Structure 1
Amino acid sequence: MALQGAPTHSPEDDNDDYPTWMVSTLTTILVVTISGDILGNLLVITSICRNKNLRKAGNTFVVSLAVADLLVACYPYPLVLLAIFNRGWRLGPIHCQLSGFFMGLSVISSVFNITGIAVNRYCYICHRGSYSRVFSNTSTVLYIGLVWTLALAAILPNLFVGSLRYDPRVFSCTFSQSVSSLYTIAVVFIHFFLPITVVSFCYLRIWITVLIVHDRVKPARNLQDHAWPHSIHSFITMFIVFVLFAVCWGPLNIIGLLVAFHPPLADAIPRWLFVASYFMAYFNSCLNAVVYGALNKNFRREYKKIMLSIFQLT
């Protein structure tokens, strides 16, 4: 593990020039994110395990996505919170590298899982005949293993190029966009824009299929099968998850791409915009559980049962 570029504490790491209200705001956002992340994603995983209507091959990716979100809430985010309290990094280079590594692993595995969900929904709605063969229980588990293997392979190079560094603007050990323009461009395209393109294609094809089927079956007031309305509802839920991910992570990746193409922009980007883009990205990890609960009655029902059980125990 290369530690080149990993910081030890120095005076310039402190954020004493941040006003108290801003530190308080960032702290509040992170506390809400960590709390919502842990509670929400544990509810998601427990709900899928408890409810047979939710134990489907497609929801295996949902569990994997929840695990990816939980990963950052259990280690990197609490360290960011400590850095905010201390107005600088006090935990040494090893924790800095590990924090940046697990944060990157979570982000990359999240976007790969979202891609897996989109491909799964695409096959289910657009290629129903071959869906059971392509997404059997065994093959789906293998796909999940592939997602995490690819995510691990994608983040490992950062340990050897010195790109995981403490950034005092966001109190985080994270990917440094200024290490190498070519490397940053490759990271942004392979880890964000390429998966987003695949997901966009899948959902575009799904929307076209839904509209065609709707026009064909409307006169007869008949649907292909009883599962069709549920599959459309599930598709809409996962589409919103994708949109939220793209909205939350898009600004940070666009900034990284602009800086990579034109490095002098790094000093021109307002600090508030850079900080806002980071914390908006962080906040995404607690949103998925809310979307499932708001749009899926099976998740909503299980959430209520689990919470009632917890309250009864206390």
Structure 2
Amino acid sequence: METQEGAELCFPLMSNSSCKKPAFSFPEFLLFNITLSFISVVTVTLNLLVIISISHYRQLHTPTNIILLSLAVSDFLIGLLTMPGDIMQKTSCWFLGDLVCFLVKYVSYVITSASVGNMVLISIDRYVAICDPLNYPTRVTENRVKACVCVCWLCSVLYNFFLVKNEISQPGRFNSCYGECVVVTDHITGTVDVILTFIAPVCVIVVLYMKVFVVAVSQARAMRSHVTAIKLQLSVTPTRRSELKAARNLGVLIVVFLICFVPYYCVSLAEADLLNNTTASLVYFLFYFNSTLNPIIYTLLYPWFRKAVKFIVTLQILQPGSCQAKIL
């Protein structure tokens, strides 16, 4: 927590053990809070629209969209819970107690791990759809995807509980003063955590999408070939082309995810103390800004989302039988 000499104390009656309030000029404080609060509200609103769209319209109940729904839930929770907690922590003293601090941090870890897991599931889904299209309908079903999503969230809850279980007995033991919210893991545990929850999943994502890219390029060349034109007319269906388009769109989603997540994990792995400076703070918020960008990507790349949002805003979603509407 950045402070200046002579700054006000969080708890004036505990002058020897109280943290000092973060030092901001009023314009800086106002701009910082308004900007971050706006991002939080936008994140919650846009992801809520995604959740309502996929949940309500039955035509959108596909294996791929179920994973997108899970991703939207994690992004929604980041905007609703994690961002406000971080705004409070960085712009003022922490007055909610050590237990609430621990719970906020723990929930943040769970949501982040689940988001990474969802990205891995998206990569696997596109890999099977593009590289093994004949078996995709039988291998990737709605029930199997729902089971995988549930396992993803359950593993995230259990793994992060094991990671911070020592904090449960004595929350706030790493706080240097009253009014601070800190949860610390040792260097070895932190390094293992980065490997298991980021480096390994990213390697899987990159390898799978490289294979998808190679197959997609070869198919695109085949489609342009005059020699195989007649054969392709029989074998390359509109469904097949839609799968290639879906792979491209989800590829954009994953690239944005990597751009937002990689800087944070690089800084975390290099030196935890760097997170206290201004540059690392920007990296930190870029990490969460990914949750805002995801539904914006849906708006730009998915016509069904724009159509669903129109139905929701105009309240057509309240009409009887609206769940059967043609969205695709």
Aligned residue for 1:149? 154
Alignment of 1:194 with 2:200, yes or no, is: yes
Pick the aligned partner of 1:109 from 114, 119, 130.
114
Task: Letter of the 2:218 partner, please give it.
Answer: I
Separation of aligned partners in 2, 1:196 and 1:19? 40
TM-score, normalised on structure 2?
A: 0.81
Deviations 1:189-247 (CA, angstroms, capped at 9, x unpaired) = 11111111111111111110111011112122746111122222222221121111211
Matched, 1:92 2:102: no
- Say which SS state the counterpart of residue 90 (structure 1) adopts: coil
Distance 1:310 1:225, change over 3 A: closer
Tell me whether 1:278 sits opposite 2:290 in the alignment: no
Question: Which protein has greater RCO, CA pairs closer than 8 Å, 6+ apart?
Answer: 1
In structure 1, what residue type is equivalent to 2:151? L
Aligned residue pairs total 294
Counterpart-to-counterpart distance in 1, 2:294 and 2:135: 29
How far did 1:62 drift? Answer: 0.6
- Shift in Å at residue 141 of structure 1? 1.3
Deviation at 1:127, TM superposition (A): 0.9
8 A contact 1:72–1:102 mirrored in 2: no
Contact 2:70 2:149 in 1 (8 A): yes
Q: Which runs of no fewer than 5 residues in structure 2 stay unpaired?
A: 1-9, 12-16, 320-328
Alignment root-mean-square deviation, CA? 2.9
Structure 1 regions of 5+ residues with no counterpart? Answer: 1-7, 261-265
Once the two structures are TM-superposed, the CA of residue 33 in structure 1 deviates from its matched residue by: 2.3
Structure 1 Cα separation of the partners of residues 138 and 181 of structure 2: 43
String of CA shifts for 1:121-155, please: whole Å, max 9, x gaps: 11111111221222112211111111111211221
Q: Out of 120, 128, 132, which is 1:127 matched to?
A: 132
Q: TM-score, normalised by structure 1?
A: 0.84
Which residue in 2 is equivalent to 1:139?
Answer: 144
- Relative distance call for 1:205 and 1:151 in structure 2 (3 A) is same
Q: 1:136 to 1:77 in 2, by over 3 A?
A: same
1:241 is aligned to 253
What SS does the aligned partner of 1:156 have? helix
Change over 3 Å in CA distance of 1:195–1:234 after alignment to 2: same
2:239 and 2:318 map into 1 onto residues whose CA distance is 35
Instruction: Work out which of the residue numbers 10, 21, 26 in structure 2 matches 1:14.
Output: 21
Task: Name the CA distance, whole Å, in 2 between partners of 1:224 and 1:19.
Answer: 62
TM-fit CA distance, 1:84: 4.8
Q: Measured at CA, do residues 19 and 278 of structure 1 come closer, stay the same or move farther in structure 2, by a change above 3 Å?
A: farther
> Does the 8 Å CA contact 1:115/1:195 hold for their aligned counterparts?
yes
